Chain A
Amino acid sequence: MRVGVFICHCGRNIASVVDVHWLKNEAAKLKNVVFCEDYIYLCSEPGQKFICEKIKELNLTHIIVAACTPSLHGETFSRTLESAGLNRYLLEIANIREQCSWVHQNTPKIATKKALKLIEAALAKLTYAKPLTPLRVPMIRKALVIGGGIAGIQAALDIANGGFEVYLVEKEPSLGGHMAQLSETFPTLDCSSCILTPKMVEVAHHKNIHLFTYAEVKNIEGTVGNFEVTILKKPRYVWEDKCTGCNDCVDVCPVIVPNEFDQGLGARKAIYIPFPQAVPLVYTIDLENCLNSKKLIVCENCFKACGPRAIDFLMEEEEVKIKVGAIIVATGYDLIPLEALPEYGGGRYQDVITSLDLERLLSPSGPTGGVIRRPSDGKIPKSIVFIQCAGSRDPEHGRPYCSKICCMYTAKHALLYKHAVPEGKVYIFYIDIRAAGKRYEEFVQRIVEEERVLYLRGKVSKVFRKNEKLVVLGVDTLTGRTVEIETDMVVVAPAIISNNGGKALAQILKTPIDEFGFFTEIHPKLRPVESPAIGIYLAGAAQSPKDISESVAQASAAASKVLALFSQKRIALEPIKAEVDVKLCKGCGICVKTCPFGAIKIIKKKKKKYAQVSKAVCQGCGSCMGACKFRAINVAHFTLKQLFSQVDALLEG
């Protein structure tokens, strides 16, 4: 074993605290160390070249780099080893920046000693290191996209156009997500359906896309390259292949219920499509409201009216199993309910509505045909008070984050309302106007100026009813005055929250969500579309509040990650996997229960029971290693022997 130790100054990050020259001299004295040198930036081109040359020149077999965290440059230095012909697993990084110089700035002497300890510990671990080779397994080059909003649609189309098959699973009867509910979109004022519907149709007709609407993902097993997915198709009670979308059934159905798609402001029948442009154009019976139940058929109106005999009350839910290599999560967002905002009269006054309600009132295909009518009496409001940041940026009530899109859509709403009711008056309560985006600030300022919209900087304390009007009490902190406004309608911009079912889905996917239920990315800056679970990517508002252009951009980014993955037929997996020592294993099965990925099975061979690890499924997390009473299971590169000797070295002296 011929060890080379390379100590990095990291400019002044390390060298201004740790005495690197002393460190170099001391490290050079350690057992098996044949070369030790310090260098200003090891991660630079010349720095890596230096390591490479020394390996070749001195026949070094193992390398220690004392520098920053391995999560930053572990890959860089592993490649350096490979380019010098060494196995990348014969590298150990001693983190003397984050774990030393940065945290002990005021005690340089002790920091220097600790740096030496960290190098000794790395050496101890390296002593038992073994060269490892990556596993190569065949990859299933098909993708699953969960969620059929604009993000999911875009991701599915990009992958499908790249030549690979995609399964798109949407839980509602139609594709489209929230974008389908919108009237016109900021900052260009494109009609939302006009730009969305063609994409929905493209999905439905694409030869590479298998569309599952009214379906959910029930279970996922396996890992990148080899996921096994169980999809649950909920019964529509209408056969997709037979229904022609003629609408004859709707005419005869006697049940009228509020239409969720119209935010309950319009009605639908028990057999319905959520909106006229729905894709697929297949009707669905909502059995909860239908007069019939599974056991008792009392109404056959639609059944009789249906020419192609598409209706089937006996339809059962169906499970479909598929295999994919990569998954994109695009499950979108929800809004906090009005009832959560009692100070604004939410849930109490009919004319206090949400921004999404207003989108439906503005939409030409909405419940009022695009005329803004207030819910209580159908009158066109002569004034509207908008309340932004309703529940957002409010850490005391659990949501410290900015919902990001409400500033923009509220400005848009002000404009659309003023176009419809030119003499109408608009007041907007806001805390800050956040309009960072291409042409966004210009959009807002143009509306303020041209439509003479009065922005009031401050919060609303109370909304109450006075005869037919609503009275809004609030403050304008710019003038330092409390204000009172009598208005016909109040529109609140509720905080964007993660999708209701997100938590359950995260459990199925075994991928983390943050404290607010949004899916977490592996690195917020450099890897924003990848989840920490390899092979699972994120798109759209499922990750954090986003507008359409950002959702589309992220969807295409996620798709390009999938396409890059699919560019190879086999996939290389890290060889850092659990290995069972059959001699020590007693087959007790504790590891089977501990493994979060279901990678371990107990098998019986020649009368001996022992654990067996599926290398393709194991993620190398080490849970089993910690749980095994007999020390029979070890994760390669992090074996008990390696870790114990590392800890011993740290505690010595």
Chain B
Amino acid sequence: MRLVLKSETDVLKKVEEISGQNVFSCYQCGMCSAGCPMSEEMDLLPNQVIRLLQMGAFDEILGSSTVWLCASCYTCRARCPRGVDLARLMEAVRLIVLRKTKDDYIPPARMVKEKLPQIALISALRKFTR
């Protein structure tokens, strides 16, 4: 399906605000994907996630397992030649998804009920427990 490119989306601004990263710093070398320990299991490679962010195609990321499989091991951050903290971007995407549910907040009980992947739990806890 053809991707219709629009001017920058609000979601992208939000992702960048939460993560403190500029997605346009990435030049798509693929170092992050090459080194990611989870990439075998992912349906989008980590560099594709950031690419889709650059293109403002947030919906494409929503349907993907990648952000949930990301282990936040920071290998990508350590290796990226452009200093992009991709792990933070992944986290930002997760947070936006979670926040969308209701008022930026999900009680842990509900997360469990909805059978969220473990990583989502950890991600949520990291956010809400400071």
A residues with a Cβ closer than 8 A to B are 383, 425, 427, 445, 448-449, 452-454, 456-457, 473, 476, 478-479, 481-485
Contact = CB atoms under 8 A, between A and B. Distances in A.
Report, nearest first, the 7 A-B pairs whose CB atoms are least far apart. A452-B24, A425-B7, A485-B5, A481-B3, A482-B2, A483-B3, A484-B4
Contacts, number: 50
Contacts of A448: 24-25, 27
Contact of A425 (B2, B8, B52): B8
Contact of B55 (A453, A479, A482): A479
Interface residues of B, number: 19
A476 B55 CA distance: 10
B24 A453 contact: yes
Interface string B39-54: 0000000001001101
Contacts of A449: 22, 24-25
A485 B4 CA distance: 6
B25 A476 contact: no
A478 B5 contact: no
A193 to B, nearest CB: 32
Contacts of A457: 28
29 contacts: A383-B7, A425-B7, A425-B8, A427-B5, A445-B27, A445-B82, A452-B22, A452-B24, A454-B5, A454-B24, A454-B54, A476-B3, A476-B55, A478-B28, A478-B48, A478-B51, A479-B48, A479-B52, A479-B55, A479-B57, A481-B2, A482-B2, A482-B3, A483-B2, A483-B3, A483-B5, A484-B2, A484-B4, A485-B5
A487 to B, nearest CB: 9
A486 B4 CA distance: 8
Contacts of B1: 481
A478 B28 CA distance: 8
Contacts of B8: 425, 452
Contacts of B7: 383, 425
A454 B27 contact: no
A479 B3 contact: yes
B20 to A, nearest CB: 14
A476 B82 CA distance: 21
Nearest to A447: B24
A485 B6 CA distance: 7
Interface string B16-48: 000000101101100000000000000000001
Contacts of B3: 476, 479, 481-484
User: Interface on chain A toward B: helix, strand, loop, or mixed SS?
Assistant: strand
Nearest to A473: B2
A279 B54 CA distance: 47
Nearest to A453: B24
Nearest to A424: B7
Given A425-B8, A445-B82, A454-B55, 18 more contacts: A427-B5, A448-B27, A449-B22, A452-B8, A452-B22, A456-B55, A476-B3, A478-B48, A478-B51, A479-B3, A479-B52, A479-B55, A479-B57, A481-B2, A482-B3, A483-B5, A484-B5, A485-B5
Nearest to B4: A484
Contacts of B4: 483-485
A425 B28 CA distance: 20
A233 B1 CA distance: 61
A452 B22 CA distance: 9
A367 B17 CA distance: 41
Contacts of A445: 27, 82
Nearest to A457: B28
A457 B54 CA distance: 13
A476 to B, nearest CB: 7
A41 B72 CA distance: 61
Nearest to B16: A452
Given A425-B7, A484-B2, A479 B51 contact: yes
Contacts of B52: 479
A473 B2 CA distance: 9
Contacts of B5: 427, 454, 483-485
A574 B52 CA distance: 66
A259 B86 CA distance: 51
A485 B125 CA distance: 40
Contacts of A452: 8, 22, 24
A485 B2 CA distance: 10
A476 B60 CA distance: 15
Interface string B50-66: 01101101000000000
Nearest to A471: B4
B50 to A, nearest CB: 10
A277 to B, nearest CB: 37
A481 B54 CA distance: 14
A427 B8 CA distance: 12
Contacts of A482: 2-3
B11 to A, nearest CB: 15
Interface-central residue, A445, A454, A482, by most chain B CB under 10 Å: A454
B2 to A, nearest CB: 5
A509 to B, nearest CB: 45
A152 B73 CA distance: 59
A482 to B, nearest CB: 5
Interface-central residue, B25, B51, B54, by most chain A CB under 10 Å: B54
Contacts of B57: 479
Nearest to A444: B27
Interface in B54-100: 54-55, 57, 82
Interface-central residue, A448, A456, A473, A481, by most chain B CB under 10 Å: A481
Contacts of B24: 448-449, 452-454
A427 B82 CA distance: 21
Nearest to A452: B24
A50 to B, nearest CB: 52
Contacts of A456: 55
